[in-house]
A and B are shown apart, each in its own frame.
Chain A
Amino acid sequence: MSILHIVNKSPYEKNSVAMAAGYAKEGDTVLLIEDAVYAAVKAGSASAKLSGLDVSVLGSDLAARGVAEDKLADGVNVVDYAGFVDLVEAKDSVQSWL
Chain B
Amino acid sequence: MAEDIKKLMYVNRRAPYGTIYAWESLEVVLIGAAFDQDVSLAFMDDGVYQLMKGQNTEAAGMKNFSPTYSALGDYEVTKIYVEKESLEERGLTLDDLQHLVWEDEDDDWAERDSIHLVSRAELADVMAEHDMMFNF
Q: Mark A42-63, 1 if CB is under 8 A from B, else 0.
A: 1111110000000000011101
- Contact yes or no, B59 A63, CB < 8 A: yes
For B56, give the chain A residue with the smallest CB separation. Answer: A63
* Most chain A CB inside 10 Å of its own CB: which residue of B14, B18, B59, B92: B18
- Residues on B with C-beta less than 8 A from A12 are 45-46, 89-90
Chain B residue numbers with a CB within 8 Å of A59 are 59
Please, what's the 1-or-0 string for B44-67, where 1 marks a CB less than 8 Å from any CB in chain A? 011001001111111111101010
Scan residues 8-22 of chain A and give those whose CB is less than 8 A from a CB of chain B.
8-10, 12-13
Interface of B is mostly: loop
Nearest residue (CB) in A for B89 is A45
The distance from the CB of A31 to the nearest CB of chain B, in whole angstroms, is 15
From the candidates B46, B60, B92, name the one contacting A13 in the complex (CB within 8 A): B46
Known: A12-B46, A65-B49. A34 touches B18 (CB 8 A): yes
- For this complex, into which size category does the number of interface residues on chain B fall? 20 to 34
Sort chain A's interface into a size bin.
20 to 34
A94 CB within 8 Å of chain B: no
Closest Cβ of chain A: how far from B135's Cβ, in Å? 14
Is there contact, CB below 8 Å, between B52 and A67? Answer: yes
Shortest distance between the CB of B92 and any CB in chain A (Å): 8
**B91/A45 in contact, CB under 8 A:** yes
Asked if A64 CB lies within 8 Å of chain B CBs, one says: yes
CB distance from B126 to the nearest CB of A (A): 22
Give 28 A-B contacts (CB < 8 Å), ordered by A residue.
A8-B18, A10-B15, A10-B18, A10-B46, A12-B45, A13-B15, A35-B18, A38-B49, A41-B90, A42-B91, A43-B90, A43-B91, A45-B89, A60-B61, A63-B56, A63-B57, A63-B58, A64-B56, A64-B59, A64-B62, A65-B16, A65-B17, A65-B52, A66-B56, A66-B96, A67-B52, A68-B54, A71-B91
